[in-house]
Structure 1
Amino acid sequence: MYEYIKGILTYVSPAYVVVENQGMGYQIHSANPYRFSTKMNEEVLIYVYQAVREDDITLYGFKDLNEKKLYLKLLNVSGIGPKSALAILANEDHSGLVQAIEHNDANYLTKFPGVGKKTASQIVLDLKGKLGDLDVEWAQGTALTFDSVEGNVHITEALEALKVLGYSAREIKKVSGELEKIQHDTTDAYLREALKLMMKK
C-alpha cells in the first residue's frame, strides 16, 4: 500500500492531478485538484490511498495525513464508497463535519452529494467518538483569503469540479449565480466558495 507520492505536478483537471515520478505519471483523484494548481511543474507530496477493484485500480490523493485519516474512517462507514468519501472531504470545513458527527447532526451530513438520511445516520453511528486521533487545529481549518481578480474561466472549472464530485445540475445552478458575484483569481478559490455555499443550501 502506498503512503504518499512525491514528484512533479504536471497536470490539473476537475477530477484529478497527474504527478510524475521517475518517468511515470500517476493519475491521482482528489477532492479539490485545483488546490494543487499553484504548484504546477513543481515538486509536490501527496498522501494517497489505493482502491483496488476487479476492473479498476484508482489512486485517491490528500493534502496531508490528517485528511487521509478522515477519508479512511469514512470508508469504513457502510454505504460510503471511495468517491462519496472524497466528495465529503471536498468541503474543507472539517470542523463542521466533525461537530456534525459528534452532535448527531444528520441534517448537516445530508448536504453532501450522495448522502441521504440513512447514510448520514450511519456515519454518526459508526464514527461518533472515533475521531479523537485527528489533529485538533487541522480539524478546525484555517481562514481563507483571496485577492479579488476577475476569472470566469475559473468559475467554469469550479462548476465542472462540482459535477465530478456528484452534485446535481440543479444544485450547481443554485450556486453558479452567487459565484458570478464574487471575484477570485483561482479555480481553487471559486471551488472552495461554491462548496461553502452548497452547505448553506
Structure 2
Amino acid sequence: MIITLQGTVIAKGGTHLVVEVAGIGYQVFVNPAFLARLETGQEIRLWTHEYLREDARELYGFDSAAEHGLFRRLLDVSGVGPKMAVHILSLGPVGEIEKRIEQGDADWISTVPGVGKKTAQKIILELKGKLVGVDDVKGPDVEVLEALRGMGYSSEQARRALSAAPKGDKVEERLRAALRELAR
C-alpha cells in the first residue's frame, strides 16, 4: 500500500496530477481546490489512499494527514465513493468540514456537485460524533492524530498517546513518540 508520495508534479489534468518519483509517474486524483494551487515542476509531498476495484487501481492524494483521515471517514459512509469524497474535501479546511458535519449542516454539504440532501444527511448521521476534531489540536499534532487514526487507533487512544508523548516540532518525532506510548 502506498501511504505517501514525494516528488515533482510533471502534469496536471482536470481531476488529477502526475507525480514523478524516482523516474516513475503516478497518476493521483486530488480535490479541485488543491489541484488549482499546484504548478507543473513543483515539488510536493502527498498523503495517499490506494483504491482498488475489480477493473481499476486508483491513487488519491491529500495535502495533509488530516485531509487523508477525513477522506477515509467519508468512504465509510454508504453511498460515498472516492470521487465524491474528494469533492467534499474541496469545501474547505478539514476543521471547517468537520465542524459543519457536527453542526448537522446538510445544506452546506449538499452544495458539492453530486451530493444531494439525502446523501448529506447520511454523512452527518454516520459521522457526527466520530470525527477527530482538529480545531483543538495545533501544529504537527493534527497530522499525528490522523496518522494514528489511519493505523486503526481510536481518537481517544490517539489523543491519550499524544498527550503522554514528549513535545517535538516535527510530525515524524511526535508520531514515533506517540507510537512508543501506545506500545507500553
Candidates 12, 36, 42, aligned match of 2:38: 36
Distance 2:89 2:47 in 1: 14
1:153 equivalent in structure 2? none
Q: Which of structure 1's runs of 4+ aligned residues deviate more than 4 A?
A: 135-138
Residue 49 of structure 2 contacts residue 59 of structure 2 at CA under 8 Å; is this kept in 1?
A: yes
1:3/1:128 Cα in 2 relative to 1: closer, same or farther (>3 Å)? same
- Gapped regions of structure 2 (runs ≥ 5): 139-184
Aligned pair count reads: 136
Give the structure-2-normalised TM-score. 0.68
Q: Per-residue displacement from partner, 1:135-169 (whole Å, max 9, x unpaired)?
A: 6468xxxxxxxxxxxxxxxxxxxxxxxxxxxxxxx
Q: What residue is the counterpart of 1:18 in the other structure?
A: 18
Q: Is the 8 A contact 1:69 1:134 kept in 2?
A: no
Partner in structure 1 of residue 85 of structure 2: 85
- Classify the secondary structure of the residue corresponding to 2:38: helix
Alignment RMSD, CA only?
1.8
Task: Give the distance between the partners of 1:70 and 1:135, measured in 2 at CA.
Answer: 14
SS of alignment partner, residue 11 of structure 1: strand
Q: CA deviation at 1:22?
A: 1.6
Structure 1 contact 9–42 (Cα < 8 Å) conserved: yes
TM-aligned CA distance change 1:103 to 1:67, over 3 Å? same
Q: Work out whether residues 7 and 21 of structure 2, in 8 Å CA contact, stay in contact via their aligned partners in 1.
A: yes
Mapped pair 1:3 → 2:16: no
Tell me the residue number matched to 2:109. 109
**Residue aligned with 1:55, SS:** coil
Q: Output the amino acid matched with 2:57.
A: I
| In structure 2, distance between residues paired with 1:111 and 1:137 | 28
**TM-score normalized by the length of structure 1:** 0.62
Q: Compared with structure 1, are the counterparts of its residues 50 and 98 closer, same or farther at alpha carbon in structure 2 (3 Å cutoff)?
A: same
Partner of 1:9: helix, strand, or coil?
A: strand
User: d(CA) in 2 for partners of 1:42 and 1:56?
Assistant: 27
Q: Deviations over 1:7-33 (max 9, x none)?
A: 121112221111111211001010031
Q: Which has the higher contact order (CA 8 A, sep 6+)?
A: 1
* Deviating more after overlay: 78-87 vs 117-126: 117-126
Aligned partner of residue 78 in structure 1, secondary structure:
coil
Contact 2:47 2:63 in 1 (8 A): yes
The residue aligned with 1:49 is: 49
Change (3 A) 1:55 1:102: same
Distance 1:8 1:113, change over 3 A: same
